[in-house]
């Protein structure tokens, strides 16, 4: 049986019972991790599977298609992250018109009882579900008394005197405070995906890029950044990245374009992660490609300097050969 499922009403998945946690899990921050890990611990104690339930698209995206809220984590990364936290099964339930019409009682009966045979259900603070957000912890406890499961609300996680939340993380990365975001997430903020082909304009400008698309999701930030790319070599690769709609070339779809310094190779189809280190500037529309290229050189130089400092702070040796232009300059000065 696949560990990832999308559909409801496809028969019982956990005939001997399960422990279930439910949430949006956007970002998989410290609070989400505490919820999932506690669920896994309870499942191991009872000898049943741990199931993490979420929705795709998120209800907020479904109800506001014209102005969807920004996402910290794409669906595949969310599923992979939940499985990496030792969830035995992950449900990314298809949130569509039919599911959105279910009452809280109907969701409990059809998913938690019939499909998952839940013994315990764990949710975060102030969790709501069902049509018009009519379901809450009180409903779960009331129905659990007759259906044979208990319902629990985990305590919120606080850091620096404030509750850890996806909203708070979005605010920190928009402010360019990636160190604060990393503390709230429990890891550096990164966006992953498979490298796809773009217009290859960057290559003609001397800045070939590895491109990641968002599958219709709205990224939580935009602009030009100093970044590390993971998944290319044994160590993170220094890079400068653009995240946005590329107004100078009349782009529309959000695209993450990472230029790996001094890299020579084919990355198409490879899965990478782009870790954000520092915000360099906002995305701008330039009058022509020549002006854009000049700015790209300035961005690259600034990113190199910031990443050199970051590597020193982390005691990293970046996976990149020396900049050939700098090597030539050094040879000229020592000749």
The pLDDT profile of the chain, 335 residues, written as one tens digit per residue, is 679 999 987 789 999 999 999 999 999 999 999 999 999 999 999 999 999 999 999 999 999 988 888 999 999 999 999 999 999 999 999 999 999 999 999 999 999 999 999 999 999 999 999 999 999 999 999 999 999 999 999 999 999 899 999 999 999 999 999 999 999 999 999 999 999 987 666 566 668 899 999 888 999 999 999 999 999 988 999 999 999 986 554 556 789 999 999 998 889 999 999 999 999 999 888 888 888 899 999 999 999 999 999 999 998 876 655 444 443 343 333 23
* Residue with the two structure tokens 């020592």: 334
Q: Is residue 330 part of a domain?
A: no
Domain assignment present for 294:
yes
195 three-class SS: coil
| 287 sits in which H/E element | none
The pLDDT value given to residue 285? 84
Domains in the chain: how many in total?
2
Contact partners, residue 298, CB within 8 Å, separation at least 6: none
Cα dist. 305→100, 239, 294 in Å?
Answer: 49, 11, 17
**How far from 91 is each of 55, 67, 88, CA to CA, in Å?**
8, 25, 10
- Structural domain includes residue 129: yes
Kindly state whether residues 217 and 141 are assigned to the same domain. Answer: no
- The tokens 């870790």 sit on which residue? 275
Total-model pTM: 0.89
- CA-CA distance, 51 to 3, in Å (whole number)? 9
pLDDT at 200: 63
How high is the pLDDT of residue 325? 43
Q: What is the pLDDT at residue 214?
A: 87
Question: Looking at residue 212, which CATH number applies to its domain?
Answer: 2.40.30.30
CATH number for the domain that contains residue 79? 3.40.50.620
Dihedral sign from CA coordinates of 171, 310, 34, 9: positive
Residue 172 in any domain: the answer is: no
Asked, as a colleague might, if the bond just before 57 is cis with ω within 30 of 0, I would say: yes
3-state secondary structure 1-37: CCCEECCCCCCCCCCCCEEEEECCCCCCCHHHHHHHH
Q: Are residues 72 and 201 in the same domain?
A: no
Tell me the two tokens of residue 147.
């259906």
Q: Within this chain, do residues 283 and 225 fall inside the same structural domain, yes or no?
A: yes
Domain assignment present for residue 170? The answer is: no
Question: What sign for the dihedral angle of Cα 203, 207, 212, 218?
Answer: negative
Q: Give the dihedral sign, CA 235/230/190/37.
A: negative
| pLDDT for the residue numbered 234 | 87
Provide DSSP, 74-126: -HHHHHHHHHHTT-SEEEEEE--HHHHT--HHHHIIIIIITTT-EEEEEE-TT
pLDDT at 328: 39
Q: Among 121, 140, 159, which residue terminates a domain?
A: 159
Judgement on whether residues 194 and 313 belong to the same structural domain of the protein: yes
Give the pLDDT confidence score for residue 333 in this predicted structure: 32
Quick one: pLDDT at residue 319? Answer: 63
Parallel, antiparallel or unpaired: strands 50-56 and 210-213 = unpaired
CA distance 165 to 155: 13
Confirm whether 293 is domain-assigned.
yes
Domain extent at residue 77: 4-159
């Amino acid at each position: 049986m696949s560990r990832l499922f999308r559909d409801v009403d496809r028969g019982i998945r956990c005939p001997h019972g399960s422990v279930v946690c439910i949430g949006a899990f956007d970002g998989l921050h410290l609070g989400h991790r505490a919820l999932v890990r506690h669920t896994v611990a309870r499942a191991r104690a009872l000898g049943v599977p741990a199931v993490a339930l979420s929705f795709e698209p998120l209800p907020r995206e479904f109800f506001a298609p014209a102005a969807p809220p920004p996402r910290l984590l794409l669906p595949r990364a969310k599923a992979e992250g939940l499985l990496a936290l030792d969830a035995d099964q992950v449900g990314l339930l298809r949130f569509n018109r039919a599911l959105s019409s279910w009452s809280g009682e109907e969701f409990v009966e059809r998913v938690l009882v019939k499909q998952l045979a839940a013994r315990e259900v764990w949710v975060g603070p102030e969790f709501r579900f069902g049509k018009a957000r009519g379901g809450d912890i009180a409903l779960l406890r009331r129905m659990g008394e007759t259906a044979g499961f208990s319902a629990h609300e985990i305590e919120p996680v606080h850091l620096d005197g404030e509750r850890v939340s996806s909203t708070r993380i979005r605010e920190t990365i928009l402010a360019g405070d990636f160190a604060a975001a990393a503390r709230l997430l429990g890891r550096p903020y990164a966006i992953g995906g498979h490298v796809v082909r773009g217009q290859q304009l960057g290559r003609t400008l001397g800045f070939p890029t590895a491109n990641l698309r968002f599958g219709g999701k709205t990224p939580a930030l935009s602009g030009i950044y100093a970044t590390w790319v993971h998944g290319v070599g044994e160590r993170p690769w220094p890079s400068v990245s653009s995240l946005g709609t590329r107004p100078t070339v009349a782009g529309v779809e959000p695209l993450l374009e990472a230029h790996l310094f001094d890299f020579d190779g084919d990355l198409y189809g490879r899965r990478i992660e782009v870790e954000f280190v520092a915000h360099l500037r906002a995305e701008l529309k330039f009058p022509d490609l020549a002006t854009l290229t000049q700015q790209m050189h300035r961005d690259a130089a600034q990113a190199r300097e910031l990443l050199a400092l970051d590597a020193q702070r982390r005691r990293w040796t970046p996976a990149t050969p020396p900049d050939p232009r700098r090597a030539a300059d050094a040879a000229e000065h020592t000749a």
